[in-house]
Every structure is written in C-alpha cells, then in structure tokens.
Structure 1
Amino acid sequence: MSAAELTRYAITGAIIAFVLFMRLRTIGKARRLRLETLWIIPTLFIAFACFIFSQMPPVGLGWLWVAVAGALGGVIGWQRARLIHIGVDPVTHEINQTTSPAALIFIVALIGVRWILRSAVAMGDARWHMGAALVTDIFVGFAIGVLTLYRVELYVRARRLLDEVRGR
C-alpha cells in the first residue's frame, strides 16, 4: 500500500470519525423536524443523479442493477427512518425528532457494508465486467433510494402524528 493510499484512507477515516462524533453528540436530543423542507435533499440528489446518468447512462442490464440498488436503498432508508422517534408538542404542534442509538449503529453498519461492497466490486470488476461508471451509477441509485424513502417515511409518520394531535 502506497503512502498516497494510506493518506487517502486516513483522511476518509478521520472524516467519518468526525461525522460520527457529531452525530453521537445529538443522540437522544430532540431536534425540530420541518416537514416543509424534507423534499429538498432528495430533489437535489435526484437532479445530481440525472446529470450523472445523462453523461454516461447505464446500458442494458445496467439499468436493472441501478433499479435493484435503488429498491434496496429504499428499504434501508425506510428502516432507518423507523429508528427515529418523532414527537409532536400538543400545544405548539411543533414536530421534533430524536435519533436513537440504534440509528447510529445502523449508519455505522451501512458505512461498513458500503466500504466492503465497494472493495468487492472493485476486485470482482474483471470477472463481472462492470466498469467504474456502472459501479458509480449503482451507488447513486442506492443513495437515491435511501435519501428519498428515509424522508418519505419521516413525512408520513410526522404528518399522521400531527393530524392526530390536531384531531383530524
């Protein structure tokens, strides 16, 4: 392993450790959940994905791989959202979300699985004949699924709780 690779892994590890540390500090603390902004991140990422797919679209079965990755990402995003506690203040009707320790463990496991899959795909590339562009497209499809279904599930649950508090 070269010094450049070691540096890359060290920087990646430091960034992941920093992000996880910041997330660890907010576990168990209620944060405001704004329903009106949940659509922004998936929309931006879908626009980004459209740009990526327009530059070098998957061919043939590549679209199937992207769709399967998107569906798998959707299941994981939905499950991740189920680990978030959502509460509604009965007086102000303010919606709050509280991250559970299980959600952080889920994120760490997801990062680990992604890292392992990335390495496995890179090693098996010669056998499977998957180019770097298709691998990128698969990960983009997966991310779209995670981000979109995570926010859809949060929206549906929060909206239902808010309607219950308002008596609808």
Structure 2
Amino acid sequence: MGGGGSGAWLPLLIFAGVMAWRFRSLEKARLLRLPLLWIAPAIVTAAVSVALYGMPPSLLGWAALAAGLAIGGGIGMQRSRLMRLHVEGEGDEARVMMRQSPLALLLLLAVFAARRMILPGGMTVGAGHPAANAQIMTDAMLGFVLGMVLVSRLILWQRARAMVAAHITDS
C-alpha cells in the first residue's frame, strides 16, 4: 500500500462506525433538553472563530465561508425537520422526546459522500496555488459546519417550544 493513501480511510471508517451506531438506536426516543441546545452551537462557533482568527480568510475565503454557511444552514434545516419529536407528560412535567429519522441519517451520509467526492480532486480552484485552494476549501467547510449546527439546533428548539406550548403529542 502507498504511504499517503491508507490514512485517507481512517475518517471514513470512523464515520461508518458512528453511523452504524446511530442506525442501531434509530427507534429509541431520547430526551431533547431544550436548555442545553445552545451548547453545541457555542462550541462550534468558538472553534470556527479561533480557526478564522488564526488564519484569516482572503476575500475569496470569506465568500467560500458564506457559501458554506448558507449550504450548511439549508442542510441543517432539512435535517432538523426530518427529526421525529413528541411530547410526553402534562403541564410542567411535559418533556420533548426526539427520535432520529432514517432520512436525516441518510441526508448526513449523502453530505459525507458528496464531500468525499469533491475534496480529493476538487482542490484546484482556477490556476491558484494548492495551499490557497486548500485554505478556501477549509473556509467553506468551516462555514458549512457552523451553518449546519446553528440552524439545526435553532429549528429543533423552535419546533420543541411550539410543541410544548400547544401540547402537540406528535410531529
């Protein structure tokens, strides 16, 4: 085996393991803790901010970041709309429960597959330097992850709050 090619399979194997674990617990409802939904967006925002501070994007990098943010936000919105939510209990005892949707997981698989197809040969943007092209792709991916996490959590929070307020039993 070649030296550089074997390391490229490690992220794929990790992702496959995580997805197998998620598919295994597909029908199990888990508590959606509304007061804690802000934590993942805060962590991702901080990490992206540190990355951008450490290596400020060029003008094209900012455009790639904005495009990634928009695309990630759209996918995050769609993924959150595919989640199955329901309310258990009455009044102050009401709890929002969430089950993973098979379509939401398939959406993540499709995004991962598309990223794997684009990145290996798609590192050339015009006739630019490979390092600059890698930085632009990194900026786009940072925006993508930020948009997906922010919008996904926002939509989940909005849906859950509306369900508790109206005491809808299934969505």
Q: TM-score of the superposition, structure 2-length normalised?
A: 0.88
Distance 1:23 1:2 in 2: 32
Aligned ranges for residues 70-109 of structure 1 at < 5 Å? 70-91=69-90, 92-109=93-110
Is 1:44 equivalent to 2:43 in the alignment?
yes
Identity among equivalent pairs (%): 32
Q: 1:13 to 1:69 in 2, by over 3 A?
A: closer
Q: Which amino acid aligns with 1:100?
A: S
For each residue in 1:54-112, what CA deviation from the matched residue of structure 2 results, as whole angstroms up to 9, or x when unmatched? Answer: 11111223212211110111000000001101111142301100111111111111110
Gaps of 5+ in 2: none
Match of 2:135 in 1: 133
Which is richer in helix? 1
Give 5+ residue unaligned stretches, structure 1. none
Alignment length (residue pairs): 164
Alignment-mate amino acid for residue 164 of structure 1: A
* Contact 2:73–2:151, Cα closer than 8 Å, also in 1: yes
Matched, 1:2 2:2: yes
d(CA) in 1 for partners of 2:11, 2:61: 28
1:145 to partner: Cα distance: 0.2
Q: CA RMSD in A?
A: 1.8
Instruction: Give the aligned partner of residue 13 of structure 1.
Output: 12
Displacement over 4 Å in runs of 4+: none
Check conservation: 1:41, 1:147, Cα contact below 8 A.
yes
Q: What is the alpha-carbon distance in structure 1 between the residues aligned to residue 136 and residue 105 of structure 2?
A: 29
**Secondary structure of 2:167 counterpart:** helix
